[in-house]
Amino acid sequence: MQMQELFKLAVEKKASDLHLAVGSCPILRINGELTKTDFEVLTPRESKRLVYSLLSEVQRKQFEETLELDFSLSIPGLSRFRVNAHQQRGSIEAALRVIYYDIPTLNDLSLPPIVTAFARKESGLILVTGPTGMGKTTTLAAMIDLINREKKRMIICIEDPVEYVHRHNKSIVKQREVYSDTKSFAEALKRALRQDPDVIVIGEMRDLETVSLALTASETGHLVLATLHTPDAAQTIDRIIDVFPPFQQQTIKVQLAGSLEGIICQQLLPRLNAEGRIVATEILIKTPAVGNLIREHKTEQIPTIIQTGVSLGMKTMDRSLRELCQREAISYEVAMTKVKNPAEFKEVGKRR
C-alpha cells in the first residue's frame, strides 16, 4: 500500500477526507458518510510508514517533538491535501482533507446572492461560521476568487495550513502559512497591517489577540474575512465578545457593532436525489437594529431580527432547511435532525 494509491482513490471517489487509523482499513468520507476501502487493515508499523512518507526531515522532527502536525501538500495531477498527523494510543495516524485544484464559484456552491454582495464590500468584518468540515474554507476561497477576478486589491491570507492556492489575477494574493511562513495568526496579522492590504483573510480567529486585531483592521478601512467554529449568528457574536475579559467587553461590543457587515453560518447536508451535499445557510446582515443589539448584548433577539429581515437577504437556518426540503433538495428526515424549531416543519411534513 502506497499513499499515491490512496490519494488517487480519494480523488476518483470524490471523497472529502481520507483517514488512516490503526486497526481499520483506510477510510474515505464520501458525501458526509464514512466508507471503507478494499485495502488491508492498518498495523501500527504500516500506519507510521504511510504517515512518515508524507513528512520532510524537518516535519518529522517537529512531529516527534509535539506529536501533532498540520501541513498541506500537493500531488501533481491529482489534488492538494490538508493533513493532520497525530498519535492515538501510541500509534501514528492521520486525517487528510482533499482540496481540489479548481476553486468553485459562489454560484457553484449554491450560496445565496447576499454572499456575493458581502465579497464586494470595501471594508468591514465578514464571518463564515459552522462546525468543522462544513465548507467554510471553500466559501472563503470562492469569495477571495471573486475579489481576485473583479478588483485590483492586495489580498493577504493567513492560513493554517494553506489549502486552496490562488494565482494572481486582477489582485495580488499573498498566502502565508502559520508555522511555515509566520509564527502565529496574531503575529502575521500585526505584520499584515504594514503590508498595504486591502483585504485580510484569517483562516480562523482562535484567540483574543487575533480577534482584537481583526476588529481593528476592519475598523480601519480593510475588508476582513474570517472563520469561527460557531453554529449560528447569535452564538458567533457571543463567542467574539466572551473571548475578552469583562472590563473590555463594552468596548468590544461597540467595535463589533461598528465593524461587522455580515455573518454566514453554514452546514452541508446530503442531497436527496443526487450525489454530493448541499449547503444550508443562516445569514445575518448588519443593520442599525443589529448594531443596537450587539452594543446592548441582547443576542437572544438576533433570531427575531433575522426573521423580520428576509427582504434584506437575511435568513434563519430553519428557513433555509425548510426551503431546501420544499424543493426536495434534502429529505424531511435530514432537515428534522438539524432544525431548531420543529414546529415550523409541521406543514412540510403534512405535505409529504
- Say what the alpha-carbon torsion angle 44, 50, 54, 55 is, to the nearest 10 degrees: 30
Sequence spans of domains, the chain: 3-99, 113-315
pLDDT value of position 116: 96
State the pairing for strand pair 33-36/124-129: unpaired
Q: Fold for 3-99, please state it.
A: Beta-Lactamase (3.30.450)
Q: 113-315 architecture in CATH?
A: 3-Layer(aba) Sandwich (3.40)
Identical fold, 3-99 and 113-315:
no
pLDDT value of position 114: 96
Distance CA 333, CA 352 (A): 11
pLDDT value of position 252: 95
- Say what the alpha-carbon torsion angle 336, 339, 345, 351 is, to the nearest 10 degrees: -40
pLDDT value of position 1: 82
- Here the cell at position 334 is 435530514
CB 84 within 8 A of CB 121: no
Residues (pLDDT < 70) of the chain are 344, 346-352
Query: Would residue 110 be called left, alpha or beta, if left means φ above 0 and alpha means ψ between -120 and 50 degrees?
Result: left
The set of residues, in sequence order, having a beta carbon less than 8 Å from that of 325 and lying 6+ positions away, is 331, 332, 335, 345, 348
- How far CA 198 is from CA of 156, 169, 223, 288, in Å, comes to 8, 15, 6, 25
pLDDT value of position 346: 65
- 315: DSSP letter: B
In tens, the pLDDT along 202-219 reads 988 988 999 999 999 999
